[in-house]
Each structure stands twice: as structure tokens, then as C-alpha cells.
């Protein structure tokens, strides 16, 4: 079954202690849609400006991404994010965000997208996430990603969104902020009370925690020896996860969710090994399967 991803389709300028990489293909939807494409047919809903390089369109196409929902505003500027990492590659600060064509964007889905069963509302304003959900007819499983910015400037929209989704994915700091709870384990039931049946808390290199009707699952992150650029790892994680779910031919979501998380972690690990999408796009299904097997061995006891 297919996956629809809405989010930012961006140009990212990424600075690390070792190098500067301007105007790479980035954005929450770009990372997520490429990650999902390893497992299932994908549809991208996004907006770019006239400055969006055609080689990035070619890259989406290489992954078989359906681009009928990608809007191009010829005289507009593509969303541009720049960020800088510290030496440990964990701490990052945003240097600048130019919303460009994302400012005030109201996506209109092609008719062919309305019945997509698996939906990922990747990180973008909750207002846009609502507009997309409003145009969908009874999706089977909806995951929302978010960030602290929306808790700060659009909390009411976000809280309304949480009542409409099956699963919320957020990092540990965001989980603490959302329910004003220092302990992540105690934050979980409070987040469920806000709406989502499933909650996944990302803890970066320390893996993630799934909480759902059948209890809690602790998932590892793949232990990488070298991180080149973690930008988009969270988006790759959730993209891989929903792509894996959509690819399952039978059985309930519940039965596949744990393995889906592990597949998401593995795709995220490849993302961290190159700038932007450079490593992810070179990844093969065989490499993903091999790392999943390695992770399985690492956590068995």
C-alpha cells in the first residue's frame, strides 16, 4: 500500500566543524519520502520555488516518488534552513530559516491522493497538517511529527491535531515540553491522554521508545562509529517506519510496529553517514536488511 508524506521540501545549508555544505536537498518531507520509498510506493506533498534545482527533482524520481502533489511556485523562493553542529555532532543550532513559499501555503491534494492509506504528517506547521488531513478520506494509519517551534507558536492547532492522528513521533525534549513532565516515562501516559494511541519518543543515538495499547517497547539505534551529518535522521526514521508498515501484506499495525521502528532506525543510521541525503540515496535494500539483522543480534539476550 502507498504512503503520502507532507512536510517541507527544503534547501539546507549545513555547517559542521569540518565543512560547509550549502543548499543541499533537505526538508522533513524529502528525508521521509526517500526513506519510505525503500519499502513502499510514496507520494510527496510539498511546495518549492523557482530556485529549486532540477537535479533534486531527478533524485526524487530515482526513488520512484510520485510528484503530482509537489507544487512549484516559479517566482517564489524555496524554504531554506541553515544550521550549525558542534564538535560532538549532537548539539545543533539553527542559524536561519527562510520560509519562502511555505509561508501561507495551503496544499491542494490531487484527487489520486485522497484515498492514500498511510499518511505521514512530517514536520511542518500543524495548520498545514490539518489542511492535508481534511482532504483525505479515512486513512488507515496517520503519523504526525512535530517540533518545539509549533508548541511555542501554534499549540492550540497542535493539540487539535493530536486528537486526529493515530501516532505522534517527537524527541525526548519535545515530549517533556509538551506535557511539562521531566521524566519521559511519566510523559508517555500524559501524551496518550492528548489523543494518539501510539507515541514514539526519539532519543537520538540512544534509540527510541514506543508506547501503545500493548505496553512499551525500547528500540535501539544502530551504533555508528562516525556521524557525518545527523540532519534529517528523525525524518528518515519516521519515513522508514511508515514505509515498512505500508509494505506489510497482512496482520495488524500492532504486530508490525516494533520491526517498523527498527527499520526506521536503520534508515536513519544511513542518513547520518553523509551530508543531506547523499548517503541515504545510495543505500540499498540489502544494506538495510543487513543492519536490521545486526541490530537484532545486538539486542538479543
Residues that bind ligand AMP (CB under 6 A): 8, 10, 12, 26-28, 81, 97, 123-124, 149, 231-235
Closest CA to 171 of 229, 126, 238, 87: 238
In the block, residue with C-alpha cell 526513506: 35
Supply the minimum distance, in Å, between the C-beta of residue 11 and ligand AMP. Answer: 8
Query: What CA–CA distance (Å, rounded) separates 59 from 279?
Result: 12
Supply the minimum distance, in Å, between the C-beta of residue 111 and ligand AMP. Answer: 26
Nearer to ligand AMP, 69 or 192 (CB): 69
Strand ranges across the sheet with 20-26: 20-26, 10-15, 80-85, 92-98
Supply the minimum distance, in Å, between the C-beta of residue 84 and ligand AMP. Answer: 13
Taken in order 26, 31, 32, 33, the sign of the CA dihedral is positive
Nearer to ligand AMP, 144 or 192 (CB): 144
Supply the minimum distance, in Å, between the C-beta of residue 25 and ligand AMP. Answer: 9
277, 245 contact by CB (below 8 A): no
Supply the minimum distance, in Å, between the C-beta of residue 169 and ligand AMP. Answer: 10
71, 107 contact by CB (below 8 A): yes
Beta bridge partners of 12: 24, 81
Nearer to ligand AMP, 116 or 236 (CB): 236
261, 210 contact by CB (below 8 A): yes
Nearer to ligand AMP, 123 or 211 (CB): 123
Query: What CA–CA distance (Å, rounded) separates 45 from 9?
Result: 9
Nearer to ligand AMP, 208 or 231 (CB): 231
Q: Where are the beta strands (DSSP E) in 127-263?
A: 141-145, 167-171, 198-202, 208-212, 215-219
Which phi and psi (to 5°) does residue 42 adopt? Answer: -125, 150
Query: What CA–CA distance (Å, rounded) separates 174 from 153?
Result: 14
Nearer to ligand AMP, 66 or 235 (CB): 235
SS3 content of the chain, % helix, strand, coil (to 5): 40, 25, 35
Supply the minimum distance, in Å, between the C-beta of residue 102 and ligand AMP. Answer: 8
Closest CA to 137 of 161, 157, 111: 111
Supply the minimum distance, in Å, between the C-beta of residue 89 and ligand AMP. Answer: 12
Supply the minimum distance, in Å, between the C-beta of residue 101 and ligand AMP. Answer: 13
Residue 204 DSSP class: G
Nearer to ligand AMP, 28 or 42 (CB): 28
Cell readout for 244 is 515498512
Nearer to ligand AMP, 81 or 275 (CB): 81
Amino acid at each position: 500500500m502507498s504512503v503520502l508524506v507532507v512536510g517541507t521540501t527544503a534547501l539546507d545549508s549545513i555547517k559542521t566543524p569540518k565543512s560547509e555544505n550549502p543548499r543541499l536537498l533537505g526538508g522533513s518531507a524529502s528525508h521521509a519520502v526517500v526513506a519510505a520509498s525503500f519499502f513502499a510506493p510514496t507520494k510527496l506533498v510539498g511546495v518549492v520555488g523557482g530556485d529549486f534545482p532540477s537535479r533534486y527533482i531527478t533524485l526524487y524520481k530515482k526513488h520512484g516518488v510520485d510528484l503530482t502533489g509537489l507544487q512549484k511556485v516559479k517566482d517564489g523562493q524555496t524554504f531554506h534552513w541553515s544550521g550549525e553542529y558542534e564538535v560532538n555532532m549532537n548539539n545543533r543550532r539553527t542559524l536561519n530559516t527562510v520560509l519562502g513559499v511555505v509561508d501561507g501555503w495551503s496544499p491542494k491534494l490531487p484527487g489520486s491522493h485522497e484515498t492514500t492509506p498511510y499518511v505521514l504528517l512530517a514536520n511542518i506547521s500543524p495548520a498545514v497538517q490539518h489542511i492535508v488531513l481534511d482532504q483525505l478520506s479515512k486513512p488507515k494509519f496517520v503519523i504526525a511529527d512535530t517540533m518545539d517551534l509549533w508548541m511555542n507558536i501554534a499549540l492550540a492547532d497542535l493539540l487539535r491535531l493530536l486528537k486526529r492522528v493515530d501516532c505522534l513521533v517527537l524527541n525526548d525534549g519535545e515530549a517533556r515540553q509538551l506535557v511539562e513532565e521531566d521524566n519521559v516515562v511519566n510523559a508517555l501516559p500524559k501524551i496518550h491522554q492528548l489523543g494518539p494511541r501510539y507515541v514514539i519518543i526519539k532519543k537520538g543515538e540512544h534509540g527510541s521508545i514506543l508506547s501503545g495499547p500493548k505496553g512499551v517497547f525500547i528500540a535501539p539505534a544502530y551504533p555508528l562509529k562516525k556521524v557525518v551529518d545527523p540532519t534529517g535522521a528523525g525524518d528518515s526514521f519516521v519515513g522508514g517506519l511508515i514505509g515498512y508498515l505500508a509494505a506489510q501484506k497482512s496482520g495488524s499495525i500492532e504486530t508490525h510496529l516494533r520491526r517498523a521502528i527498527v527499520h526506521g532506525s536503520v534508515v536513519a543510521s544511513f542518513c547520518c553517514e553523509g551530508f543531506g541525503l547523499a548517503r541515504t540515496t545510495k543505500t540499498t535494500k540489502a544494506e538495510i536488511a543487513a543492519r536490521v539483522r545486526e541490530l537484532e543480534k545486538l539486542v538479543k539476550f
